[in-house]
Amino acid sequence: MKFLKLLAICFFALFYTSYSISQNLSPGFNKEEYKELIYVAARSTESAEKLKMIPQPEHFKLIYQSKPIGLDNLWELWIKDNSTAVLCTRGSTEKSESWLANFYAAMSPAKGEIKISNNYTFEYELSPDKNAAVHTGYLISTAFISKEMVPKIDSCYTAGIKNFIIMGHSQGGGISYLLMAHFYSLQKKGVLPADIRFKTYCSAAPKPGNLYFAYSYEKITQEGWVYNVVNAVDWVPQTPFTVQILNDLPKVSPVSVIEETIKSQPFFKKILLEMVYGRFTNPSQKKVKRYQQLLGDEMAKKIKKYLPEFKAPDYFNSSDYVRTGNTIVLYPDEAYYEKFSNDSKDLMIHHSFPPYLYLLLE
């Protein structure tokens, strides 16, 4: 009799656990879900003073916090209601190497490899499109963070958890874009189980890559699995600066027609048209090259101070950064400015967690 009773208890526990774990994530923006994720992200990112304004998460339990890695990156594993794992990446810190991750904004191809050290080369495919490119600094951070995250994802999966939310605010949001793309790629290659469901909230995130990266990214997430939540007066989501050149256009475009037309003209007319055409195209191309020097070559030299074995990749000839994924806009009103004034000397007055929470809950 005792054996049957014990068996019944075990069966009930197994059924309850399986039922709890099997609850699937739902697509679409969930205000309450995002609010709790802000509470989570703030714990590792926000200053002690501002953290007093932010409640503790109600449904999340901290399971693991990494040590600072890479360019002062840090991530945490939280469990929500015993059914969903949250992979939360910290935003920028006050350390120089953390800001190097932001400033290293030359673009790298979205598919390839990057040498982090003599013992670690990060192989990745964030998009199948050969024209897709991403932020190099966030790519390096993704290399470090994903190396630690993947074994933890495997452990959670073994424990029966198949739902994962990726969360990051600010720099953490920029990295979260790339993490989502990387994990999708690993699923496609069979490295991660195909029945894992990922959902991503990028909060106050900068732009992660070019238009072709955005297109391929949105194709696989457009049914409501990725959101970037932005305050309309926050300057960070408008970075990095964008410069579009003619080479950013698709192969079939008026550019090829114009160039062929110029080539077919008589000699002197051809010279004149090439001068006019050059005046139109050269300034933006020169600016992209300048960006690659300042935000690529120069930043790579500084990063070597922290990652001495790092080898800079060949940069992608573009700076056509665009916002990516479904965007949820939090729009300030007059009451907002009474609380978060434009006259403040705090450059992050509209970027930190308190204004985001205020707009979300108003």
Rounded to an integer, the average pLDDT of 204-227 is 96
More confident residue, 53 or 31: 31
- Is 173 part of any domain? yes
- Is 43 part of any domain? yes
Q: Which long-range contacts (CB under 8 A, 24 or more apart) does 344-351 make?
A: 347/235, 350/231, 350/233, 350/234, 350/235, 351/170, 351/204, 351/231, 351/234, 351/235, 351/236
- Is 1 part of any domain? no
Quick one: pLDDT at residue 2? 42
Give yes or no for residue 239 having a pLDDT over 60: yes
> How is residue 338 written in tokens?
């009474």
Give yes or no for residue 13 having a pLDDT over 50: no
Quick one: pLDDT at residue 295? 96
- Is 266 part of any domain? no
pLDDT digits (tens, 9 = 90+) for 285-302: 888 889 899 999 999 999
Q: What total of structural domains would you count in the chain?
A: 1
pLDDT band at 127 (very low <50, low <70, confident <90, very high): very high
pLDDT band at 6 (very low <50, low <70, confident <90, very high): very low
pTM of the model: 0.88
How large a percentage of the chain has pLDDT more than 90? 75
Query: Running DSSP on this structure, what letter comes out for residue 90?
Result: -
Helices 31-45 and 353-361 cross at an angle (nearest 10°) of 160
- Is 111 part of any domain? yes
Rounded to an integer, the average pLDDT of 174-195 is 98
State the average pLDDT for the chain. 88
How large a percentage of the chain has pLDDT more than 70? 85
Provide the residue type at 340 as one letter: F
Helices 136-158 and 96-103 cross at an angle (nearest 10°) of 110
Q: Which domain holds residue 143?
A: 29-243+302-361
Residue 219 and residue 358: Cα distance in Å, rounded?
32
> How is residue 287 written in tokens?
């600016």
Cα–Cα nearest to 322, from 145, 131, 188? 131
Give yes or no for residue 5 having a pLDDT over 50: no
Q: Residue 307: phi, psi to the nearest 5?
A: -130, 80
Quick one: pLDDT at residue 201? 98
Give yes or no for residue 319 having a pLDDT over 50: yes
Quick one: pLDDT at residue 264? 67
Quick one: pLDDT at residue 255? 59
User: How many other C-beta atoms lie within 10 A of the C-beta of residue 357?
Assistant: 19
- Is 48 part of any domain? yes
Kindly give, in sequence order, each residue whose CB lies less than 8 Å from that of residue 115, ignoring residues fewer than 6 positions away.
121, 122, 309, 310, 311
Give yes or no for residue 211 having a pLDDT over 70: yes
CA 52 to chain centroid, in Å, comes to 27
User: How many other C-beta atoms lie within 10 A of the C-beta of residue 143?
Assistant: 25
> How is residue 293 written in tokens?
């020097």
Instruction: Give the CATH number, domain containing residue 160.
Output: 3.40.50.1820
Give yes or no for residue 348 having a pLDDT over 70: yes
Give yes or no for residue 339 having a pLDDT over 90: yes
Quick one: pLDDT at residue 169? 97
- Is 16 part of any domain? no
- Is 316 part of any domain? yes
Quick one: pLDDT at residue 245? 79
Quick one: pLDDT at residue 222? 87
Give yes or no for residue 14 having a pLDDT over 90: no
CA 216 to chain centroid, in Å, comes to 14
Rounded to an integer, the average pLDDT of 301-318 is 96
